[in-house]
Amino acid sequence: MSCLILIGMMGAGKTTVGKELARRRKLRFADCDHEIVARTGVTIPTIFEIEGEAGFRRRETQMMDELTLEPDIVIATGGGVVIAPENRALMRERGVVVYLNVPPQILYERTRHDRNRPLLQVENPRQRIDELYRQRDPLYREVAHIIVDGGRTNPGTMVRLIEDALKKREQSTCRP
Ligand SMILES: Nc1ncnc2c1ncn2[C@@H]1O[C@H](COP(=O)(O)OP(=O)(O)OP(=O)(O)O)[C@@H](O)[C@H]1O
Ligand SMILES: O=C(O)C1=C[C@@H](O)[C@@H](O)[C@H](O)C1
Ligand SMILES: [Mg+2]
């Protein structure tokens, strides 16, 4: 099969759910953020400090281009992967894209104590999450083949919802 790609906002659970999904389906798991950190040897906040967001986005596009060529892989993306049109085209073409849709208040509760997300190091992170959600939700929907609405659903149930949706997709005919 082609790669499975999880998209969604910071804190949506892409890394947590992706690892479990890969384990259950016996696929390799890769986290785009972690791969960038491993390659550069520095944290994401440090990349933002030195190269700015634009520098991080270039690295993200390069890494997504590499990861999506691997077969039998689950990829957890960074929350901003959908900003670049070339990333959206590449994901849509090469993978099955799953959008983990989680409401902003829950995203805030999950990310509020984590200093590793530079875009949330602002005076009002709750408002920032609302803004990012408003900008990005249409882009996630545009690129997704499958949308899973999360809310307070636990990671195990999220994995099962994704597997059910994948099964339905695999069973349906006329798929290119
Ligand atoms: N379904 C869930 N229910 C409760 N907590 C969750 C759930 N999914 C993830 N979490 C918790 O929320 C936090 C963020 O999860 P995770 O790092 O998987 O998000 P992410 O989508 O990968 O975020 P980022 O885009 O910043 O990498 C973690 O502490 C994780 O344990
Ligand atoms: O939502 C975003 O733009 C980001 C999310 C994280 O996964 C990292 O990719 C980085 O902190 C940027
Ligand atoms: Mg993650």
pLDDT in tens, 118-169: 999 999 999 999 999 999 999 999 999 999 998 889 999 999 999 999 999 9
Stated pTM of the model = 0.96
If one residue of 16, 75, 129 were mutated to test the ligand 1 pocket, choosing by the most ligand atoms within 8 A of its CB, it would be: 16
Query: Which residues lie below 8 Å from residue 97, measured CB to CB, with a gap of 6+?
Result: 5, 7, 91, 143, 144, 145, 146
Pocket test for ligand 1, best of 10, 110, 113, 152 (most atoms within 8 A of CB): 110
Helix (H) / strand (E) element for 31: namely strand 28-31
Tell me what pLDDT residue 173 has. 59
What is the C-alpha separation between 35 and 21, in angstroms, rounded?
18
Amino acid at 37: V
From ligand 3's centre to the CA of 14, what distance in Å? 5
- Residue segments in the chain with a per-residue pLDDT below the cut of 70: 1, 173-176
Q: What are phi and psi of 35, to 5 degrees?
A: -65, -40
Say if domain 3-166 classifies as CATH 3.40.50.300: yes
Residues at the binding site for Mg(2+) are 15
CA of 79 to the centre of ligand 2 (A): 5
- What is the predicted pLDDT for the residue at 115? 86
Q: Going by CA atoms, what residue is nearest to atom 9 of ligand 2?
A: 78
Ligand 2 surroundings by CB, under 6 angstroms: 10, 33, 44, 78-80, 117-119
CB 95 within 8 A of CB 68: yes
**Residue 1 confidence (pLDDT):** 60
Q: Domain residues of the chain, as ranges?
A: 3-166
For residue 170, what pLDDT is reported? 86
Is the shortest distance between the CB of 158 and ligand 1 below 6 Å?
A: yes
Q: What CA–CA distance (Å, rounded) separates 75 from 70? A: 10
Query: Which ligand lies nearest the alpha carbon of 80?
Result: 2
pLDDT score recorded for residue 141: 98
